[in-house]
Chain A
Amino acid sequence: GESVGLHLPTLSVQEGDNSIINCAYSNSASDYFIWYKQESGKGPQFIIDIRSNMDKRQGQRVTVLLNKTVKHLSLQIAATQPGDSAVYFCAESWDTGRRALTFGSGTRLQVQP
């Protein structure tokens, strides 16, 4: 299943399935994108990042896809595990002489055993 990460929706998947979390970013000048995982009561934890000169980057069990034409970012998690249950945020940044991250509204991922 898919979910758009603009209204803190919830994505529910079965353990072992693949998850896809989507994010529509706002600024066409953004050149750096990052995904964070935040578990309850904890700070955001880095998952994977990508620069605008790439359209795909893979990590361990995770893949980030970037479509600059439609300003869309997605996070794919392979073989989702109960430990993946958390809120996932995308964030973007652009260079205006200063750099700061702007976060999307997040998606909650619930993994059913």
Chain B
Amino acid sequence: DTEVTQTPKHLVMGMTNKKSLKCEQHMGHRAMYWYKQKAKKPPELMFVYSYEKLSINESVPSRFSPECPNSSLLNLHLHALQPEDSALYLCASSQDGGDEQYFGPGTRLTVT
């Protein structure tokens, strides 16, 4: 299984809502990542988890809260988002952080 899955595929939320994005991989990878991608731009790193511990937070606003419940799962909890947070949110995993990363299909988030 070389797949990273993400749910939901699409999400529309209001600025007062609380929602969560989910990511799962069963490749035995111990590093997992959240990226944000705006239209026609490259992915931008948000968070890195290594062995279920947060190792990198790229100065992401606290309205984004990551969680890694176990080595296969990665969540991104969203609260009080702004319209400018609308983007494609990508999850990725790798065997040893920084080497080949496998990406999921992303969640297309729209904040209204």
Count of chain A residues with a beta carbon within 8 Å of a chain B beta carbon: 24
Write the nearest CB–CB distance from A85 to chain B, whole angstroms.
Answer: 15
Known: A42-B105, A98-B97. A105 touches B42 (CB 8 A): yes
Write the nearest CB–CB distance from B101 to chain A, whole angstroms.
Answer: 6
B56 within 8 A of A: yes
Count of chain B residues with a beta carbon within 8 Å of a chain A beta carbon: 27
Write the nearest CB–CB distance from B62 to chain A, whole angstroms.
Answer: 20
Q: Which secondary structure dominates where chain A touches chain B?
A: loop
Contact A106 B42 (CB under 8 A): yes
List residues of chain B with CB under 8 Å of any chain A CB: 4, 6, 31, 33, 40-45, 48, 55-56, 90, 92, 96-106, 108
CA distance A36 to B102 in the complex (A): 10
The 6 closest A-B pairs by CB, nearest first: A99-B98, A103-B42, A43-B103, A99-B97, A93-B98, A44-B103
6 A-B contacts, Cβ less than 8 Å apart? Answer: A98-B98, A100-B97, A103-B44, A105-B41, A105-B42, A106-B41
